[in-house]
Structure 1
Amino acid sequence: MTNETTKADRNFSDEELQDLVASTDTGGRNPTSRTVALLISGLAFAWSLFQLWIAQPQLWFAQWVPALNSSQTRPVHLGFAILLAFLAYPAMKSSPRDRVPLADWVLALVGAGSAFYVFLFSRELAETARSGLPTSAQIVIGSVGIVLLLEASRRALGPALTVVGAVFLAYAYMGQGWLIPDIIEHSGLSFTAIVNAQWLDTTGVFGIPLGVSTAFVFLFVLFGAILDKAGAGNYFIQLAFAGLGALRGGPAKAAVVGSAMTGLISGSSIANVVTTGTFTIPLMKKVGFSSEKAGAVEVASSVNGQIMPPVMGAAAFLMVEFVGISYVEVIKHAFIPAVISYIALVYIVHLEALKRDMPALGPAANLGRMFLKIAIGFVVSGAAFTALVWLVNTLRDAAPALSEGVILAGIIIAYVLMVRTAAKHPDLTLDDPNSGKFTLPTVAEVFPTGLHYLLPILVLVWFLMIEMQSPAKSAFWAVAVMLGIVLTQRPLKAMFRNEHTGTAFREGVNDLVDGMITGARNMIGIGVATAAAGIIVATVTKTPIGTELAGLVEMLSGGNLFIMLALVGVFSLILGMGLPTTANYIVVSSLMASVVVQLGAQEGLIVPLIAAHLFVFYFGIMADVTPPVGLASFAAAAVSGGDPIRTGFTAFFYSMRTIALPFLFIYNPTLILYGVDLGTTAGILQAIMVFCVATVAMLLFAAATQGYFLAPSKKWESAALLLVAFTLFVPGFWLDRIQPRFEELPPVELAQAFDSTPAGETIRFVVSGPSYVDGSPTKLTIVHTVTADEPASGRADAAGLMLLPEGDRLFMDEPMFGTDYQQQLQGFDFYSDPRVEVSSLLHPADRMPKQIMWLPALLLLALVVMFQRRRQTKPAF
């Protein structure tokens, strides 16, 4: 197959594919005027410099230049984003791309000026608007700023977020109307109050989402852009092909692994599809995948790059602020679902290859042996990392004054040796995937050529995991190392190869500048998205929708948690048709995350807040898959020549594991290592057990949905595999039907239970009473974890509970103001009949371990294996 034939088939040239990425990620405008092009690039470069300046942790400049606080850096960040949005993104598809119209110059300057006004006059705003006394000029500037922000959002992201933001603004202003349910009606806010809250204050546009974009996300996007400019993207793709290309359906497996690694450097599903798909999709078609399935594999693997630690999508950093946990905790909770999701996708494409008897590219290899090698590699890498930690800690203990210098020297020496190793091998080039002859590289050829790309990733993981530094500081040092690498790798290679270093140094400088510019342009959409999403967050906090939505969702779901989760998932998917993952996550989590926790508590199921947020996050990443608007599916179809709608539906089918996982860890939070202490040997062993069992369960789930295990599955066999997978994931579901989880104690013993429970243990009780909204009977299950700093007696009073025992019943008065219980129980009406009371005190029952339910599941699996072995004609791996 020739290159010309393939392009004619898909009708997209490489330039058109890059334009597709640019129009969605960095802006589709490409001015022919060199002055204008340099100005846009200069603004992007200046934005990157500004972000590095405010991120560097030493503040060496503070004696000459005042250090900026978050309320000052956020407006500057947004000012750059709006300015570049109007300059880089055309207003319409028919708008000129080769020049910037005068109207766009005006809008860019006015929009950016409205944001910079908040920076320049922050002290005046603190004395006027933020004290509730905005001036007329401030209201005008704020009004213009909001309108132009929504327009910038429309240009960079499409109309969805603009429409959603406008609807929330209209709801805040009107408060009532035939489209607004009675339960969330309010008297309406004044125009002045809305503008003040949204633009002039620090809780709306300039609130937490934009703060996360300013402090964390930009640095990680910049890190990925520079890493890609250095050549890491090509290295990861070739490493994946070298390791997996010789397997059955090898190009598809390489696409999955390559996209997982590329996810480290690209926060964009579309860019990931085009970058890796240009190589993988033609090769997948060559071994037997249809155009739609080849594109779908690339889409499913590229989209999941956003859930792959340690560098996850921008939404992961928002979780840090919304949930109130560290980024390391987010990584801990996201790790197992992300890894088993990718393992399952590798297995899915393996089953596709088996079903269609697809050949390998070159001599066939064994998937099981490949998994074993990867497992050994993880163990060896873990042992080496542990040894490095011990060595550094020993050095710091022995010579604390010299340790930092020695460590820096060690990093430099290691880097130089890595580049010297790479210089001994030719630079990586990949055969044309569309040519008739394609030669697979070997791991021995590829691996040494990019060892130095792993160094900044190691630095990032080190600062996050070992030094326990903030994501911003960790990303800053990783970017600093990356800047050094991209600037020096070419000259060093030239020196080791006895080539001219001057030209190589200039190329390194160009790579550095290009990486800085690309990183900033990749941030335009994220910057305006987080700012526009702040409109939704502020509306939720200023109107009843934030507190009363739980009642509306409960009414729609009939009080059933599973139905409510399904509604939240569908809501996310509908929003995902037009919103990028980050904006989708902000909107849905602001509205629904606390509702999931609250409704779970009413059913007696304690849903951790992080599980609710991850649930929303997982459905949010389907934004780029969901037909009919999934942009990643359209990008893949542009490469493959397939139908984009069929590609999207196939990718959605392949992504069913990503949809199933959120439901599973809501009902079994152990899957996200919630409550597992990784600082102890027992905790680590438990985590390993959870990972192994979850991996097996997910592989069985993949086999069931694909209709193929050891042989083509009959319907009852697929149903049995689904049942086995569900039991392995949530064994407690079946045990709860046999033995109750808790035994009831007299409620009046609650205060005694508080005082007698050891630190670290939990107390579970159920509160019943009339709802504050409509007086209907409601229940809430509360779990209290006793901490070591609580008093030896009177713990219930100290926690703010006002308990009123009367005979064998225990009534409650409104908890003390400002306590956690005042927040948890605010949905009850303490001043009406019937009275609020503690209806149950629950004590863990003495019952069988839930893992006992694995035995019948494994017996059922053995039965399926026995029947399928009789029909098996090909090796399972």
Structure 2
Amino acid sequence: MTDKTLTEQDDGLEIARRMAEEEEGVGRRPAGWPKWVIPVVAVCWSLFQLSIASWLIIDSTFIRSIHLGFALLIVYLNYPLFKKPKFGIDYFSATDRIPLLDFAIGIIAAVSALYIALDYDGLITRYGAPILRDLIMGAVLVILLLEAARRVIGPALPIIAMLFCCYAFFGPYMPDLIAFKGVSLNRFMGQMTMSTEGIYGIPLDVSATIVFLFVLFGSMLDKAGAGRYFIQLALSLLGGFKGGPAKAAIMGSGLTGLVSGSSIANIVTTGTFTIPLMKKVGYPGTKAAAVEVAASTDGQLAPPIMGAAAFIIAEYVNVPYVEVIKAAAVPAFASYAALFYITHIEASKLGLRGMSRAELPAFFKTLISGTHYLVPILMLLYELIVVRHSPELAAFNAIWVMAIIMLLQHPVKAHLANEPLGPAFKQGIVDIFSALASGARNMVSVALATAAAGIIVGVVALGLGQLITAIIDTLSGGNIFLMLVITAITSLIIGMGLPTTATYIVMASLTAPAIVEIGGFNDFIVPLMSAHLFCFYFGILADDTPPVGLAAYAAAAIAKSPPIATGIQGFMYDIRTAILPFMFIFNSDLILHNVNSWAQGILIFVMACFGNFAFASATQGWFVARNKVWEIPIFLCVTLSLMRPDLISSLLGIPHDQRYWTYAIGMAIFGLLYLLQRPRMPRQNTAAAVA
């Protein structure tokens, strides 16, 4: 490899790392004593969150306001007004210092967020009739919250929130179809800033009580070195198979999803290792980056930790979090299985082999070297699934176990190497505090997304709910299929400029009730969980949707491939995931709704995997050989029969309780397609199979 190639690769890695840092909350890097201000505030925030999860008992409204206050303060200390100098003035874009103006604005923003806690008794008595001070503090909070969201997330969410605010006031002057009675300033401010129906609503509560702890747990795993361990483990297990580095990237990204809720951070953690390895065994740069994009994006789908939106789903649907895990399990794992299948298809197309055993780490040695990382993860799973503790208690218990491991892992290594223990203990303490600061930084975007999206939720709660359902019903002509397509496209478009959590909150508030209601108009029962997961899935898929998908830009920077082409290729891989929400809306078996038998659940999962394999073959143009045009619709029929046995059984007149017998039809057709394509298998595939 030439020096020029190495330099270009290093530059790509640096670009990807900067993107990950921006998403994770690393903005300014001031010199001197101010460099300690942001980390100290971040550590204090983490300690507060750990306190309310263990010994500190205060009102939930106070928790939400303090949580938002910390987030706003960190934003104004950490993010400049502009990313680049404007009009030749660099004061408002400074990253090497914290301007006094931002110090002042940060304190004002934090106080405005804390106002509901500082004057809680007074606000309760004045609800509906706020005094001038209440209105001023409320207006300051709304304005500074939207500006903070713009600095962290970008302009899309603040613009959407402002449009909804304008709609709340100017609704009476709108065309008849979208006319709204409107609200007064007193009612608007009361709803948004003096109650738990707006900014301080359920999304912010979930962010403050549950999501923070899971993000902190992930940050601690990351600082301890678990991310590198997961990818080494995946390589040792899968690297030797056909197209092995791509399969290792998928497994590594799925495991790293436990560490990071960020697609970009996931790509930087795993893609740094896997993308060069994929290119080494013969994957083109665009496809290598696209595999990493698809795997990292779908990391948010995999139970048991599915990002902030999954916890909000549990609150909105009013079910225990374990029910969300159960509902998401079959679609998520079927999606990952299909991505493994796609990488196998790509390797078959290109005639690739795996890496030699000499190039791979030893499996058992690698597994044992990081067993201590698995202990807190297994404990978290035990607490969530077996004991069924609350998510916040499960995460807190996993955190203190993780803290003990971080404190002891360096001294144990030092003892085994006969090195001094003092510096090793010091490094463990530094790692813990670094993780506390990093966890808080990572939470800033989630806290602001949930708070700003709360403005939209609050406007909808002012009386827009039925109107929105009526508008959607009119646009779709009462057709549930068209309505789902409109919802999916809207989610993808909105998600281009919003983080996953905000996209889900906005779309779920606007469309989830409408999906259920319009389904009822069509004499079709849609479980509320299905509707919310539909919005959740397409919010995640927006992460790699061209032309904005930042995940594709990060992976392309590492692979030195065109970003748009990478995004398009990644989206083509993710079509296998996009089909699943449409299927589980009409076949609630896929989310295990009213399915309580392990045997039934496993059967549904296996058939969903084969159905997704057939769909992947149709969209990728390959099964065991290149598809002929007339084979594509047959693959789609296999997909339909394996994912919608209820539909096939009704067409054939088979009783609903015997619908699973139709799986045999789909598998028989799939087998027939294999026999038809087998004579056309490329020679190198046959040789590889024999070898």
Query: Which residue number corresponds to residue 20 of structure 1?
Result: 19
Aligned partners of 1:155, 1:848: CA distance in 2, in Å? 54
Q: Is the 8 A contact 1:157 1:525 kept in 2?
A: yes
Aligned partners of 2:33, 2:119: CA distance in 1, in Å? 31
Aligned partners of 2:513, 2:354: CA distance in 1, in Å? 49
Aligned partners of 2:319, 2:480: CA distance in 1, in Å? 25
Q: Indicate the structure with greater helix content.
A: 2
Aligned partners of 1:624, 1:97: CA distance in 2, in Å? 27
* Aligned partner of 2:120 among 119, 122, 131: 122
* Aligned partner of 2:361 among 427, 437, 441: 441
Q: Is the 8 A contact 2:500 2:539 kept in 1?
A: yes
Q: Secondary structure at the match of 1:188?
A: coil
Query: Which residue number corresponds to residue 392 of structure 2?
Result: 472
Aligned partners of 2:669, 2:490: CA distance in 1, in Å? 36
Q: Aligned pair 1:168/2:158, yes or no?
A: no
Query: Which residue number corresponds to residue 266 of structure 1?
Result: 260
Q: Is the 8 A contact 1:577 1:629 kept in 2?
A: yes
Query: Which residue number corresponds to residue 598 of structure 2?
Result: 684
Q: Is the 8 A contact 2:49 2:208 kept in 1?
A: yes
Q: Is the 8 A contact 1:11 1:641 kept in 2?
A: no
Shift of 1:439: 2.7
* Aligned partner of 2:248 among 245, 250, 254: 254
Deviations 1:482-524 (A, max 9, x none): 1111111211232344321111100100110111000000000
Deviations 1:846-868 (A, max 9, x none): 57822333343333223312211
Q: Aligned pair 1:68/2:66, yes or no?
A: no
Where does structure 1 lack aligned partners over 5 or more consecutive residues? 62-66, 364-437, 678-682, 742-845
Query: Which residue number corresponds to residue 88 of structure 2?
Result: none
Shift of 1:562: 1.0
Aligned partners of 2:175, 2:430: CA distance in 1, in Å? 57
Query: Which residue number corresponds to residue 411 of structure 2?
Result: 491
Alignment of 1:80-91 (within 5 A): 80-91=70-81
Aligned partners of 1:579, 1:593: CA distance in 2, in Å? 18
Shift of 1:333: 0.6
Q: Is the 8 A contact 2:220 2:432 kept in 1?
A: yes
Q: Which amino acid aligns with 2:535?
A: V
Q: Aligned pair 1:852/2:634, yes or no?
A: no
Q: Is the 8 A contact 1:218 1:523 kept in 2?
A: yes
Q: Is the 8 A contact 1:19 1:28 kept in 2?
A: no
Aligned partners of 1:346, 1:596: CA distance in 2, in Å? 32
Query: Which residue number corresponds to residue 146 of structure 1?
Result: 142
Q: Which amino acid aligns with 1:472?
A: E
State, as a whole percentage, how many aligned pairs show the same letter. Answer: 46
Q: Aligned pair 1:592/2:511, yes or no?
A: yes
Provide TM-score, normalisation by structure 1: 0.76
Q: Which amino acid aligns with 1:5?
A: T
- Over the aligned positions, Cα root-mean-square deviation in angstroms equals 1.6
Query: Which residue number corresponds to residue 90 of structure 2?
Result: none
* Aligned partner of 1:865 among 640, 651, 674: 674
Cα 1:848–1:496, aligned 2, differ >3 Å: closer, same or farther? closer
Q: Is the 8 A contact 2:650 2:656 kept in 1?
A: no
Deviations 1:56-103 (A, max 9, x none): 1xx3x6xxxxx3110111000000000111111222221121112232
Query: Which residue number corresponds to residue 243 of structure 1?
Result: 237
Deviations 1:165-202 (A, max 9, x none): 1011111111134xx45234223211222122111222
Alignment of 1:802-813 (within 5 A): none
Cα 1:558–1:604, aligned 2, differ >3 Å: closer, same or farther? same
Higher mean C-alpha displacement, 847-856 vs 91-100: 847-856
Deviations 1:681-739 (A, max 9, x none): xx111111111111121122212211111111111222211211211110221232343
* Aligned partner of 2:619 among 691, 705, 710: 705
Aligned partners of 1:852, 1:14: CA distance in 2, in Å? 51
Alignment of 1:493-512 (within 5 A): 493-512=413-432
* Aligned partner of 1:137 among 121, 133, 147: 133
Alignment of 1:330-729 (within 5 A): 330-363=324-357, 439-543=359-463, 545-677=464-596, 683-729=597-643
Query: Which residue number corresponds to residue 187 of structure 1?
Result: 181
Higher mean C-alpha displacement, 18-27 vs 68-77: 18-27
Query: Which residue number corresponds to residue 93 of structure 1?
Result: 83
Cα 1:596–1:25, aligned 2, differ >3 Å: closer, same or farther? same
Aligned partners of 2:656, 2:374: CA distance in 1, in Å? 48
Cα 1:16–1:711, aligned 2, differ >3 Å: closer, same or farther? closer
* Aligned partner of 1:285 among 279, 283, 289: 279
Q: Secondary structure at the match of 1:175?
A: helix
Query: Which residue number corresponds to residue 325 of structure 1?
Result: 319
Shift of 1:266: 0.1
Q: Is the 8 A contact 2:171 2:180 kept in 1?
A: yes
Aligned partners of 1:29, 1:342: CA distance in 2, in Å? 37
Larger radius of gyration: 1
Aligned partners of 1:453, 1:4: CA distance in 2, in Å? 37
Q: Is the 8 A contact 2:383 2:394 kept in 1?
A: yes
Aligned partners of 2:411, 2:623: CA distance in 1, in Å? 52
Cα 1:3–1:165, aligned 2, differ >3 Å: closer, same or farther? farther
Aligned partners of 1:847, 1:554: CA distance in 2, in Å? 29
Cα 1:37–1:696, aligned 2, differ >3 Å: closer, same or farther? same
Q: Which amino acid aligns with 1:74?
A: R
Q: Is the 8 A contact 1:203 1:538 kept in 2?
A: yes
Bigger relative CO (Cα 8 Å, ≥ 6 apart): 2
Q: Is the 8 A contact 1:23 1:89 kept in 2?
A: no
Shift of 1:564: 0.7
Cα 1:847–1:523, aligned 2, differ >3 Å: closer, same or farther? closer
Q: Which amino acid aligns with 1:490?
A: H
* Aligned partner of 1:106 among 104, 107, 123: 104
Aligned partners of 2:3, 2:132: CA distance in 1, in Å? 63
Q: Secondary structure at the match of 1:133?
A: coil
Aligned partners of 2:516, 2:529: CA distance in 1, in Å? 10
Shift of 1:359: 2.8
Cα 1:149–1:847, aligned 2, differ >3 Å: closer, same or farther? closer
Q: Secondary structure at the match of 2:370?
A: helix
Aligned residues: 678
Aligned partners of 2:110, 2:26: CA distance in 1, in Å? 17
Aligned partners of 2:522, 2:647: CA distance in 1, in Å? 14
Aligned partners of 1:184, 1:46: CA distance in 2, in Å? 46
Q: Secondary structure at the match of 2:359?
A: coil
Query: Which residue number corresponds to residue 419 of structure 1?
Result: none
Deviations 1:270-301 (A, max 9, x none): 11111111111111111222221111111100
Q: Secondary structure at the match of 1:312?
A: coil
Shift of 1:11: 7.4
Q: Is the 8 A contact 1:199 1:205 kept in 2?
A: yes
Query: Which residue number corresponds to residue 39 of structure 2?
Result: 41
Aligned partners of 2:190, 2:119: CA distance in 1, in Å? 14
Q: Is the 8 A contact 1:237 1:254 kept in 2?
A: yes
Provide TM-score, normalisation by structure 2: 0.95
Aligned partners of 2:388, 2:191: CA distance in 1, in Å? 35
Aligned partners of 1:643, 1:119: CA distance in 2, in Å? 50
Aligned partners of 1:848, 1:228: CA distance in 2, in Å? 47
Q: Which amino acid aligns with 1:597?
A: V
Aligned partners of 2:268, 2:450: CA distance in 1, in Å? 25
Aligned partners of 1:282, 1:522: CA distance in 2, in Å? 27
Shift of 1:3: 6.4
Cα 1:288–1:266, aligned 2, differ >3 Å: closer, same or farther? same
Give structure 1 regions of 4+ aligned residues with deviation exceeding 6 angstroms.
none
